[in-house]
Chains A and B, each alone.
Chain A
Amino acid sequence: MMTDDTPPEKPADIPVDMEAFRARQRSRNRALGLVLAALVVLFFAITIVKMKAKGHL
């Protein structure tokens, strides 16, 4: 059969690909984590400023 002529991904390649895949995922998660942490700090700062302006603090 024609399709069998093209070999499937060699098993030896998969661990290397998986490693790059996981590394990319990790770097994305780190970036997203930093963005979320920054948003927490941002909203906290906005809240404090707004409460001070209204005389609640």
Chain B
Amino acid sequence: MSAMVDPTPLVMPTDWRDFFALTKPRVMSLVIFTGLCGMLAAPVSINPVLGFVAILCIAVGAGGAAALNQWWEADIDAGMKRTQARPLPAGRMDRTSARDFGFALSGGSVMVMGLAIDWLAATLLAVSIFYYAWVYTVWLKPRTPQNIVIGGGAGAFPPLIGWVAATGHVTLMPVLLFAIIFVWTPPHFWALALFVQTDYAKVGIPMMPVVAGEAATRRQILAYAVLLLPIALAPWLIGATGIVYGVSALVLGLAFIAFSLPVGTRRAVEGDRMKPEKRLFGFSILYLFALFGMLVADRFASLAGLQ
């Protein structure tokens, strides 16, 4: 008799790997790298253990924000090929778990940052999480095609927080590091949006290529690429870094414009494989790693008396 059988089906507990996936580990690697570079480029050296704790807090905070983002966007993610295999849309995790996990990581990382490192750094970390999870994800992403421009602010926080964790205060230099990633994000993301644009249109997210059209997006990619050059050179121009960084920023910036030129001037045709867009997207990631890497190299070169 069926009445004797427990009607509650056996629900598998979510695999820990799915919780890990919820933190967007690949995005986190860029967050860890830029945060670490911001910390190492700062003129004050931090105890290695505390430095590790600060970077860990930035990474875990970013993971918490990513979890909250996916908790909020589970329905949207389900409608896009790129995101439908994520733990929530694929049905491997319930939304409450994702929400609680996100809040726990966010709150925990801010608390540890404040208690172990510095409350200004903790405040900035809290602001960055709020900025990504609320200002970007909930508020602006579904409302304006400028979402990526504004959302770029969320990704720009790590080097600023890393710097403040080391020095304890905000100066012009960490704000410039923030500005570099802020201006870098639109061309980086729109290059991606150009070759996945059909997906965003389907779920009603007003990405720039969907709303303003392909031609306008391409023009703006080029405009931001040109704007990025003087901003990336600014740390050198104000004398905060040496020639190692200055020359690297110049070469990388010109290359960024060179990669953006074909993207900015051409139009996709039927059956286009979007090669220039994919190349620009790939180079933009390399650009950020190289630029911040050279920032640290510059600092070490100065410390060693080489410049």
Listed in ascending order, the chain A residues whose CB lies under 8 Å from chain B are: 3-4, 8-9, 14, 17-18, 20-21, 24-25, 27-28, 31-32, 42, 45-46, 49-50, 53
Closest residue on chain A to residue B13 by CB atoms? A24
Asked if B53 and A24 sit within 8 Å, CB to CB, the answer is no
Given contacts A46-B116, A49-B50, contact A24 B2 (CB under 8 A): no
Given contacts A24-B12, A27-B16, A28-B13, contact A46 B2 (CB under 8 A): no
Listed in ascending order, the chain B residues whose CB lies under 8 Å from chain A are: 2, 5, 9-10, 12-16, 47, 49-50, 53, 56, 116
**CA–CA, A21 to B15, complex, Å?**
10
Given contacts A42-B53, A46-B49, A46-B50, contact A25 B116 (CB under 8 A): no
Q: Which of B9, B16, B116 contacts A31 (CB 8 A)?
A: B16
Asked if B2 and A4 sit within 8 Å, CB to CB, the answer is yes
Q: Specify which chain A residues have a CB less than 8 angstroms from the CB of B13 in the assembled complex.
A: 21, 24-25, 28
Closest residue on chain A to residue B5 by CB atoms? A8
- In the complex, how many angstroms separate the beta carbon of B182 from the nearest chain A beta carbon? 31
Interface SS of chain A: helix
Q: Specify which chain A residues have a CB less than 8 angstroms from the CB of B116 in the assembled complex.
A: 46, 50
- In the complex, how many angstroms separate the beta carbon of B48 from the nearest chain A beta carbon? 9
Asked if B12 and A45 sit within 8 Å, CB to CB, the answer is no
**CA–CA, A21 to B56, complex, Å?**
32
**CA–CA, A28 to B50, complex, Å?**
29
**CA–CA, A20 to B116, complex, Å?**
40
**CA–CA, A4 to B16, complex, Å?**
37
Asked if A28 and B16 sit within 8 Å, CB to CB, the answer is yes
Closest residue on chain B to residue A3 by CB atoms? B2
5 residue pairs, one from A and one from B, having the closest CB atoms: A31-B16, A8-B5, A46-B116, A49-B49, A8-B2
* Pairs across A and B, CB under 8 Å, 17 listed: A3-B2, A4-B2, A9-B9, A14-B10, A17-B10, A20-B12, A21-B13, A25-B13, A28-B13, A28-B14, A28-B15, A31-B16, A45-B49, A46-B116, A49-B47, A49-B49, A53-B47
